[in-house]
Amino acid sequence: MAHLRPYPAAEKHMTPLDFPGTRVENWQQKGIEKLGEMLHKYRSLQVYMDICVKCGACADKCHYYLGTGDPNNMPVQRAELLRSVYRRYFTPAGKLFPKLVRATDFDETALQKWFTYFHQCSQCRRCSVFCPYGIDTAEISMAAREIMDAIGVGHKYTTEIVGKVHAIGNNLGIPGPALTGTLQFLEDDLLDNTGHEIRLPLDQEGADVLLVAPSADFFSEPHISSLMGYAKVFHQAGISFTISSFASEAANFGMFIGSFAQKQKIAKRIADKARELRVKRIVVGECGHAWRVAYSFWNTLNGPFDFLDPNYPVPQHICEFTHQLNERGALVFDKEANDDLTVTFHDSCNVARASRMGPSAGGQFEIPRALIRATTNKFVEMDADTIRERTFCCGGGGGLLTDELMDLRVRGVLPRITALKRVMEEDGVNYVALICAICKAQFNKMFPMYGIPMEAVGGVHALVNNAIQIGAKRGIV
């Protein structure tokens, strides 16, 4: 069982988030109380605890089940780990006849299973698409994680990162000066390569747009090319923008630990910065879970955003932004610049199943594809069962992109790799475009293990970066 179970959080990771530093004395009782509290706070949890008919339609839909073959990774069985405890303490049947309905005590065994298997769910929501009642195992995993946090049994990777966001402003813990240096370096690079002064401004008050990108975009490959792509789009459109050193992170790991309070607190610093910098729009970079939180939750968490320009949706996705400019004829693309690539698109699960782009349903599928078509000549789709709302997670989402879960990640990516290999062999695909920082990092690491070159993955805006013609201004606004 190597690398299938996360490291527990230590006291120093837990206390900054107001969680108990170590497992509380009466953890069983506290856990059950917390579950009771959650049932009153989340309709999803309450309803999903009751109505699963165990039809099994979701069972073979989870990439972790397909990859590991572990029955506890069938979404229904994962949910049962919590449900059996729910039945024991909250339903007449479970109180009276625990054996008959498979109700279990909240004991050490149950807790250990929770810790393992609720951290083998990337909250991708694929199971929810196929369930006759829309039962969303992601909601259940989040609830279980929140209960565990409340009794002092945390997950090191995610709690540590949330701590960094509060202390420093981003997940990678990049301090302001380092960020300034990097952006400076990238600007020089852009100048050398294009001959144009393309800016990457930091903390610039009065800019039109606050750009909130995942922090990986500043430092990691292949993320950086997307950042350069965004910068070129802004430059070319003549719209001023700024990055904020304190809100230099789009991702919201509050979702991974299931905590509403943390989600709200992490999101709030972006709203605050937008006010402070007096921007008119907020644009979110290529980050899957970030876009879910921004699109679906921001308004609830910290809205209304009535201090921004009402002509643009809040928040706006960078793909929406670029697509809109392109539709208006503000950008010129040289598709041939990408002619060495045959591209396929991986729908990142949190964009695909939990959030939208543009005004109409399904915009999150069409807009990135439209951008790929606008910037490349060769675009191929993977198997219909593995794209759009049926897409497979990369295997690293939901706070699982950590080294101690390497085996899980390798197995979880398998369904995606299988579909990908097919188009690589049949259609000569050599580039997977996508819009999620976690997916990029995960694929980057996984591809070589499956004999696929590491470079075969990158952002949609990396394609934009290659194809966009700088200088040939057409003028807009």
Q: What part of residues 388-447 is at the interface with ligand SF4 (CB under 6 A)?
A: 393-394, 396-398, 436, 438-439
Helix (H) or strand (E) holding 344: strand 343-345
* Buried b / exposed e along 269-278 (16+ C-beta atoms within 10 A): bbbebbeebe
226-265 mask for another protein (x: CB under 8 A)?
----------------------------------xx--x-
What is the sign of the dihedral through the CA atoms of 458, 459, 462 and 463? positive
Residue keyed to tokens 């013609």: 469
Asked if 43 is part of the footprint of another protein (rule: CB under 8 A), the reply reads: yes
Asked if 348 is part of the footprint of ligand SF4 (rule: CB under 6 A), the reply reads: yes
Q: How far is it, in rounded angstroms, from Cα 182 to Cα 200?
A: 10
Asked if 460 is part of the footprint of ligand SF4 (rule: CB under 6 A), the reply reads: no
User: Of the candidates 64, 86, 297, 392, which one interacts with another protein according to CB under 8 A?
Assistant: 297
CA angle, residues 139, 36, 353, in degrees to nearest 5 = 10
Q: Which is nearer to another protein, 131 or 460 (CB)?
A: 131
- Cβ of residue 430: shortest distance to another protein, in angstroms? 28
User: Of the candidates 7, 8, 22, 130, which one interacts with another protein according to CB under 8 A?
Assistant: 130
Residue 24: which of ligand SF4, another protein, none does it interact with, CB under 5 to 8 A by kind? none
**Phi, psi for 390 (deg, rounded to 5):** -95, 10
Asked if 59 is part of the footprint of another protein (rule: CB under 8 A), the reply reads: yes
Q: How far is it, in rounded angstroms, from Cα 467 to Cα 7?
A: 43
Q: Determine the residue with CB nearest ligand SF4.
A: 397
Cβ–Cβ under 8 Å, residues 171 and 215: yes
Asked if 127 is part of the footprint of ligand SF4 (rule: CB under 6 A), the reply reads: yes
Asked if 14 is part of the footprint of ligand SF4 (rule: CB under 6 A), the reply reads: no
* Residue 470 CB neighbours (<10 A): 15
275-304 mask for ligand SF4 (x: CB under 6 A)?
-------------xx---------------
CA atoms within 13 A on the CB side of 449: 14
Helix (H) or strand (E) holding 321: helix 318-327
Q: How far is it, in rounded angstroms, from Cα 337 to Cα 359?
A: 31
Q: Which is nearer to ligand SF4, 115 or 333 (CB)?
A: 115
Helix (H) or strand (E) holding 166: helix 156-167
* Sites for ligand SF4 among residues 186-205 (CB under 6 A): none
Asked if 323 is part of the footprint of ligand SF4 (rule: CB under 6 A), the reply reads: no
Nearest CA to 182 out of 278, 239, 253, 248 is that of 248
Residue 289: which of ligand SF4, another protein, none does it interact with, CB under 5 to 8 A by kind? ligand SF4
Candidates 132-140, 167-175, 376-384, 437-445: pick the segment binding another protein (CB under 8 A): 132-140
Q: Which long-range contacts (CB under 8 A, 24 or more apart) does 300-303 make?
A: 301/263, 301/264, 301/267, 301/268, 302/264, 302/267, 302/268, 302/270, 302/271
User: What's the CA dihedral at 205, 209, 210, 216 to 10 degrees?
Assistant: -130
Q: How many residues does the chain have?
A: 477
- Cβ of residue 344: shortest distance to another protein, in angstroms? 20
- Cβ of residue 60: shortest distance to another protein, in angstroms? 7
User: Of the candidates 28, 122, 158, 322, which one interacts with ligand SF4 according to CB under 6 A?
Assistant: 122
Residue keyed to tokens 């698409």: 129
Asked if 461 is part of the footprint of another protein (rule: CB under 8 A), the reply reads: no
Residue keyed to tokens 């949609």: 460
User: Of the candidates 181, 299, 471, 472, which one interacts with another protein according to CB under 8 A?
Assistant: 299
Residue 40: which of another protein, ligand SF4, none does it interact with, CB under 5 to 8 A by kind? another protein
CA angle, residues 300, 158, 38, in degrees to nearest 5 = 50
Residues 6+ apart with CB under 8 A from 343: 372, 376, 378, 379, 380, 429, 431, 432, 433, 463
- Cβ of residue 128: shortest distance to ligand SF4, in angstroms? 7
Asked if 38 is part of the footprint of ligand SF4 (rule: CB under 6 A), the reply reads: no
Q: Which is nearer to ligand SF4, 75 or 163 (CB)?
A: 75
User: Of the candidates 326, 350, 402, 465, which one interacts with ligand SF4 according to CB under 6 A?
Assistant: 350
Q: Which residues on adjacent β-strands are paired with residue 317?
A: 284
Nearest CA to 141 out of 35, 257, 61 is that of 257
Nearest CA to 311 out of 77, 109, 477, 442 is that of 477
* Sites for ligand SF4 among residues 53-92 (CB under 6 A): 53-58, 61-62, 64, 75-76, 78
Residue 307: which of ligand SF4, another protein, none does it interact with, CB under 5 to 8 A by kind? none
Candidates 2-10, 51-59, 143-151, 392-400: pick the segment binding another protein (CB under 8 A): 51-59
- Cβ of residue 440: shortest distance to ligand SF4, in angstroms? 9
Binding interface with ligand SF4 (CB under 6 A): 52-58, 61-62, 64, 75-76, 78, 121-127, 131-133, 135, 137-138, 141, 288-289, 348-350, 393-394, 396-398, 436, 438-439
